[in-house]
Amino acid sequence: MGGLTVLIVFILLLLFALLWQMRPLLWKIYEIETIREQWYGRALGLFLGDTVGLTGKYQEDVMAGHDYDGITEYDNDLPPWWKYGFYLTIVFGVAYFIHFHVTDSGKLSEAEYQNEMAEAALMAAKMGANDDPNKPTDYKVLTAATDIETGKSLFAQNCAACHGQSAEGKVGPNLTDEYWLHGGEVNKVYHTVKYGVQGKGMVAWKGKLSSKQMLQVSSYILTLQGSKPANAKAPQGEKETASNAAGKPVAQL
């Protein structure tokens, strides 16, 4: 594709150079009155540097009856570019009116707004359906050192203020024991991190952290099980066992 572009540019430059060398001959052709009046004659004139076809001719004849207090007016042609541009706006206006107000094939701003809002509502509904809090997930605990280290960093930045640097519990519950308010299996921890707990001060991290980051935090939290940090907060919630955790790993990672 790049070679073809270079070839086209080269051919155009070669053609321009050839025409430039032919300027004396082109001037003789341009001086023919019948050619100069045609559109291709005007284009040739522009190439040769004659802008009369674009700006129009200047006339110095004073208009009769237009002399007032020494002020006179000349009868100069409007520049062709101005006249043709004006005609083009008329054609455009008629086409616009027919397109938007006669055939109704075009959408006005209000209709476009309604259409955009409908599409946005549809997209929001679709995203909501794919992000149903009641839809179960089947994530596995991350064990890679890089994931755990990232989870630790995210926990320190976002969770330690309420749960303590070692997850010993402050305003939020102790996350190092076997007791859980909303479940200690990795998918339940992930759900709590993602959607939060209304009325309990646990904010939802959906939209603030990616799914991978929330799973990294959840996996890091589970590595703290049984760590027994100093000044640990008293247990809260239900003790997790193999039976009530649906047989999924809670403390043994």
Work out the mean pLDDT of the chain and round it to a whole number.
Answer: 80
Q: Is the predicted pLDDT of residue 203 greater than 80, yes or no?
A: yes
Instruction: Please report the pLDDT score of residue 108 as a whole number.
Output: 82
Locus of tokens 């509502």:
121
Instruction: Please report the pLDDT score of residue 248 as a whole number.
Output: 46
Q: How many CB atoms lie within 10 A of CB 224?
A: 21
Instruction: Look at residue 78 and give its three-state secondary structure.
Output: coil
Give the C-alpha separation, 100 to 106, whole Å: 5
Give the C-alpha separation, 26 to 49, whole Å: 12
Q: Is the predicted pLDDT of residue 242 greater than 80, yes or no?
A: no
CB 17 within 8 A of CB 10: no
Give the C-alpha separation, 196 to 238, whole Å: 18
Q: Is the pTM of this model over 0.75?
A: no
Under the banding of pLDDT at 50, 70 and 90, the label for residue 145 is very high
Domains, the chain, with CATH or none: 145-239 (1.10.760.10)
Q: Is the predicted pLDDT of residue 2 greater than 60, yes or no?
A: no
Q: Where are the alpha helices (DSSP H) in the chain?
A: 2-21, 23-30, 33-36, 39-48, 52-55, 80-97, 109-130, 145-158, 160-163, 186-195, 211-223
Under the banding of pLDDT at 50, 70 and 90, the label for residue 43 is confident
Instruction: Please report the pLDDT score of residue 127 as a whole number.
Output: 56
* Of 19-33, 76-90, 135-149, minimum mean pLDDT range: 76-90
Structure tokens belonging to residue 104: 């109704």
Give the C-alpha separation, 118 to 130, whole Å: 18
Instruction: Please report the pLDDT score of residue 70 as a whole number.
Output: 74
Give the mean model confidence (pLDDT) for residues 139-165.
Answer: 92
- In total, the chain counts a number of residues equal to 253
Instruction: Please report the pLDDT score of residue 17 as a whole number.
Output: 84
CB 187 within 8 A of CB 214: no
Angle at 163 between CA 161 and CA 165, to 5 degrees: 70
Q: What is the pLDDT of residues 118-139, one digit of tens each?
A: 888 777 666 555 567 777 888 8
Q: Are strands 238-239 and 179-180 parallel, antiparallel or unpaired?
A: antiparallel
Give the C-alpha separation, 148 to 152, whole Å: 6
Closest CA to 81 of 47, 49, 48, 46: 46
